[in-house]
């Protein structure tokens, strides 16, 4: 039985996995998504955001 890490690696190498990787990379470059992620991480870490 393949471990979870091996299964994830296999998925990421598959055509569908590659498609998802490209989509995530594109979304990660969007400044608005970067801002949202920073705000989420700040809330999770207990930091205050400037508004």
Q: How far apart are the first and last CA of the chain?
A: 50
What percentage of the chain has pLDDT greater than the value 90?
86
Query: What range does the domain containing 29 cover?
Result: 4-45
Is residue 46 a contact partner of residue 40, using CB atoms and an 8 Å limit?
A: no
- Count up the domains in the chain and report the number: 1
Q: Is there a domain that residue 13 lies in?
A: yes
Residues with Cβ within 8 Å of 18's Cβ and at least 6 positions away in sequence, in order, are 12
pLDDT in tens, 5-30: 999 999 999 999 999 999 999 999 99
**pLDDT band, very low/low/confident/very high, at 2 (cuts 50, 70, 90):** confident
Return the structure tokens found at 20.
């998802």
């Amino acid at each position: 039985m393949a471990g979870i890490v091996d299964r994830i690696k296999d998925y990421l190498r598959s055509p569908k996995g590659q498609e998802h990787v490209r989509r995530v990379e594109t979304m990660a470059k969007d400044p608005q998504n970067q801002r949202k992620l920073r705000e989420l991480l700040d809330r999770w870490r207990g930091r205050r955001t400037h508004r």
